[in-house]
């Protein structure tokens, strides 16, 4: 008898299951609105020109080898990633209070952060996450013994905006010194972010309650097209004297999905504290995967540090942001033109890669099974799947799903 006969089969996350169904679907009109990955107007993945250029330069460099990076990763990348998030002239950097390690994209940064919290954070081990949030947050927290997954209110289904009253109430009622995961911008899955005034109120409560913030930063530039604007919340907390972490991904913002490039930035009260914590983060890295991959880090470092390539990359991020804004406009126009029941102004009001449509589970199932439009059953869609060509088809399918579900 096998020692593992008691192991149960677990279903894969819905997003991957639906993407598999989409890929196997022969319907010529099928639309994939599931996985959050950028697509151009033709619905194709985009390798950024600056990334192509960097890879060509690296391939021609005979001085490079395949030796291990250090546990902390490529330092030129870590330094540039920190400056991008905190600002070129950030006092946190000038005072040597901001340190960073290269991670396996954003998921790796979050996992490393949670492992560090488990081992070294002296506060309580409740980890507060927005309701709703990216599904992987719960999966990671639940699999680390000693951490407690707790949700705070975030989305108001009636206004399709931030439930600030509920969020503030839950942060106030949480145990003192809780860990709070905050989406820095382009909230996944709702596409709704707090205003600057609301961020200040959130920060005031976190300071009063002595909460420890962890910022999830996967979409810098996707919310507004401007890095500085999208980093507002993080820099606000820095200005207010918080200790905090930032978990950054270069999958979406540089198109390095399969290279698994990210950074975990830690800001402490003093340089001594920060560097002690950095040393412990490196030991955790050593125990899990020893050291991170070099190729994607070299590409990202070149795009961040080379002046011309940096300018080209920033233009690419602006184009990705603009493309998604156009997709929102295409869908909104088609919904209005097709007289689809309901108000769809939230499609335009939301930002970033995702939209919380407000569709019910029953309506989503009709879209999947009848119209071959694949989306999460929460009603979340990836706006990158919307094109000028398919927007009318999607809108008409929405109309049919809403009317059919109502009849049933």
Dump pLDDT digits (tens) for 77-88. Answer: 999 999 999 999
The torsion of the CA quartet 309, 310, 316, 322, rounded to 10 degrees, works out to: -150
Over residues 184-212, the pLDDT tens digits come to 999 999 999 999 999 999 999 999 999 99
Nearest to 363 by CA among 351, 371, 354, 355: 371
- Quick count: other Cβ atoms within 10 Å of Cβ 108? 23
Q: Which two tokens stand for residue 207?
A: 């300071």
Dist. CA 146–CA 159, nearest whole Å: 36
Is residue 358 a contact partner of residue 398, using CB atoms and an 8 Å limit?
Answer: no
SS3 content of the chain, % helix, strand, coil (to 5): 50, 15, 35
Residue tagged 């800001």 (tokens) = 267
Is residue 68 a contact partner of residue 75, using CB atoms and an 8 Å limit?
Answer: no
Nearest to 387 by CA among 338, 336, 333, 311: 333
Residues 6+ apart with CB under 8 A from 260: 104, 105, 108, 251, 292, 293, 296
Residues 6+ apart with CB under 8 A from 253: 218, 219, 220, 221, 222, 317
Flag residues of the chain having pLDDT under 70: none
Determine the pLDDT at residue 35: 83
Residue 402 phi, psi (nearest 5):
-65, -45
Q: Which two tokens stand for residue 160?
A: 């399709």
Is residue 128 a contact partner of residue 181, using CB atoms and an 8 Å limit?
Answer: yes
Determine the pLDDT at residue 406: 80
Cis? peptide before 132, omega within 30° of 0: yes
pTM of the complete model: 0.96
- Point out the residues that are catalytic: 134, 216, 252
Cross-strand bridge partners of residue 100: 265
Residue 390 phi, psi (nearest 5):
-100, -5
Determine the pLDDT at residue 402: 96
Residue 234 phi, psi (nearest 5):
-60, -45
Determine the pLDDT at residue 123: 86
Q: Which two tokens stand for residue 238?
A: 């820095």
- Quick count: other Cβ atoms within 10 Å of Cβ 169? 14
DSSP secondary structure letter of residue 343: -
């Amino acid at each position: 008898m096998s020692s593992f006969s008691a192991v149960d089969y677990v279903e894969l996350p819905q997003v991957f299951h639906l993407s598999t169904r989409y890929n196997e679907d022969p319907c010529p009109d099928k639309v994939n609105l599931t996985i959050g990955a950028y697509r151009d107007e033709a619905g194709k993945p985009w390798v950024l020109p600056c990334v192509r250029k960097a890879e060509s330069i690296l391939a021609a460099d005979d001085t490079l080898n395949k030796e291990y990076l250090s546990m902390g990763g490529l330092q030129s990348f870590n330094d540039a990633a920190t400056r991008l998030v905190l600002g070129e002239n950030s006092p946190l950097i000038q005072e040597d209070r901001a340190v960073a390690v290269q991670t396996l994209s954003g998921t790796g940064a979050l996992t490393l952060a949670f492992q560090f919290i488990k081992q070294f954070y002296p506060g309580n081990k409740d980890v507060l996450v927005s309701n709703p949030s990216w599904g992987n947050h719960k999966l990671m927290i639940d699999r680390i013994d000693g951490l407690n997954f707790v949700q705070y209110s975030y989305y108001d289904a009636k206004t399709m905006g931030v439930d600030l009253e509920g969020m503030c109430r839950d942060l106030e009622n949480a145990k003192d010194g809780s860990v709070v995961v905050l989406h820095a911008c382009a909230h996944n899955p709702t596409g709704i972010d707090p205003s600057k005034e609301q961020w200040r109120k959130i920060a005031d409560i976190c300071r009063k309650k002595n909460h420890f913030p962890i910022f999830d930063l996967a979409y810098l530039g996707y919310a507004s097209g401007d890095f500085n604007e999208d980093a507002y919340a993080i820099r606000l907390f820095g200005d207010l004297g918080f200790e905090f972490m930032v978990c950054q991904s270069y999958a979406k913002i540089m198109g390095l999905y399969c290279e698994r490039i990210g950074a975990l930035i830690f800001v402490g009260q003093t340089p001594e504290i920060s560097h002690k914590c950095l040393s412990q983060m490196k030991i955790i890295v050593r125990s899990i995967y020893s050291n991170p991959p070099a190729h994607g880090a070299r590409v990202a470092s070149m795009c961040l540090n080379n002046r011309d390539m940096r300018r080209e990359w920033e233009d690419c991020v602006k184009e990705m942001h603009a493309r998604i804004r156009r997709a929102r406009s295409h869908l909104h126009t088609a919904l209005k033109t097709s007289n689809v029941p309901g108000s769809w102004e939230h499609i335009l009001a939301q930002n970033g890669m995702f939209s919380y449509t407000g569709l019910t589970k029953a309506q989503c199932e009709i879209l999947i099974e009848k119209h071959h439009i694949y989306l999460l059953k929460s009603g979340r869609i990836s706006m990158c799947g919307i094109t000028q060509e398919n927007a009318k088809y999607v809108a008409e399918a929405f109309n049919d799903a809403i009317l059919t579900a109502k009849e049933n």
